[in-house]
Amino acid sequence: MSSLIVELGSRSYPIYIDSGLLSNSPITSHIKGNKVCIVTNAVVADLYLASLQQQLTNYDVDVVVLADGEQEKSLANFERIMAHLLSKLHGRDSTLIALGGGVIGDITGFAAACYQRGIDFIQVPTTLLAQVDSSVGGKTAVNHPLGKNMIGAFHQPKAVLIDVQSLVSLPKREFAAGMAEVIKYGILGDVEFFAWLEANKVAIKQGNSSVLATMIERCCQNKANIVAQDETESGVRALLNLGHTFAHAIEAEQGYGKWLHGEAVAAGMVQAANLAVVLGFITSSQVKRIEQLLRYFDLPTEGPSTMDIESYLKHMVRDKKNLNGKIRLIIPTSIGKTEIFDNISREQLQQVI
């Protein structure tokens, strides 16, 4: 089992990566009280809930099972979790466990941040996207029809347990969506990792467990390094949103769940890269290299044909990164380096949308 630490002083926590953690892990060493609530969805519950519960036989455990899908990351389901915790008499020493993908991790973390002004939670991510990105760093939220992740809080987990074996049951489309976030780390700040992905793409797509474990650990380490520098996204952490300003606009405009988050991020990263060409930072051949890797993993490299500049802008003006009314975009200045820009004109955006 490999492990690494997200260094945040008193809020530091471990990330464990191995095969079989859903049935045998150090999870109990991160639970302080006797009461535990597992939040999961119907698909994941059928696959992994019983195994996780077997590790918790000495605790008073109850379960909230949500439906599957991005549309379930809602205020209505947040209220449902709150009502459940209250009805089951959970206290400040209770622990929430998020068993599932990014939707479950985000809404469970937000519930933990808010219930009695903050209780412990543990991330047990079962999708690639959640394992390499959303389970690490303490960003928690729910969606609103007017904007994705606009209602939330920073609340760090007590631990993250990543079972590589769970990827075996992941649908191909979901695996591909996770690869968008993997590739993002290479583009935004790790050119050697980008080259490694190109060299190992066949083994990754075939599901080689040791290669996947190496890949996931590299992503988690990259994210942990950035979060340790900037926990609340006041500076360098914003770089992790490469492609996300475009992506969130796509998701909100199309309706949550029609495009998977990773699919929208893939298209958004290409739009950001094309903007870098317009600004003179990278060449079209570098964009082609990015597009080829995304396409290998069956990801889109263009946004929806039905969306025009206005369709994007009405959502982009609400982006959380914006300051002083200016849209802030993360743009690659090379493969392996990104910067934040807030002086992009409508005409420049028009060229890449």
Strands 160-163 and 2-6: unpaired
C-alpha span between 260 and 25 (Å, rounded): 30
Per the annotation, the verdict on 181 as an active-site residue is yes
Per the annotation, the verdict on 117 as an active-site residue is yes
Catalytic residue among 77, 149, 241, 274: 241
Per the annotation, the verdict on 231 as an active-site residue is no
Cβ proximity of 349 and 275 under 8 Å: yes
Per the annotation, the verdict on 41 as an active-site residue is no
Catalytic residue among 35, 148, 223, 328: 223
Cβ proximity of 327 and 342 under 8 Å: yes
Residue 61 burial class via C-beta count within 10 angstroms: exposed 0-12, middle 13-18, buried 19 and up: middle
**Cβ atoms < 10 Å from Cβ of 131:** 34
Catalytic residue among 237, 315, 321, 328: 237
Catalytic residue among 174, 181, 217, 253: 181
Per the annotation, the verdict on 24 as an active-site residue is no
Catalytic residue among 72, 174, 231, 233: 233
C-alpha span between 351 and 280 (Å, rounded): 13
Per the annotation, the verdict on 139 as an active-site residue is yes
Catalytic residue among 261, 315, 321, 328: 261
In the block, tokens 């859903």 appear at 22
Catalytic residue among 184, 244, 289, 315: 244
* Of residues 131, 319, 289, the one with CA closest to residue 219: 131
Per the annotation, the verdict on 184 as an active-site residue is no
Cβ proximity of 68 and 43 under 8 Å: yes
**Intra-chain end-to-end CA distance of the chain, in Å:** 44
Please give the backbone phi and psi of residue 174, each rounded to the nearest 5 degrees, phi first.
-70, -40
Catalytic residue among 58, 117, 324, 346: 117
Catalytic residue among 90, 158, 248, 321: 248
Per the annotation, the verdict on 315 as an active-site residue is no
**Cβ atoms < 10 Å from Cβ of 162:** 31
Catalytic residue among 30, 90, 139, 321: 139
- Please give the positions annotated as active site: 117, 139, 181, 223, 233, 237, 241, 244, 248, 261
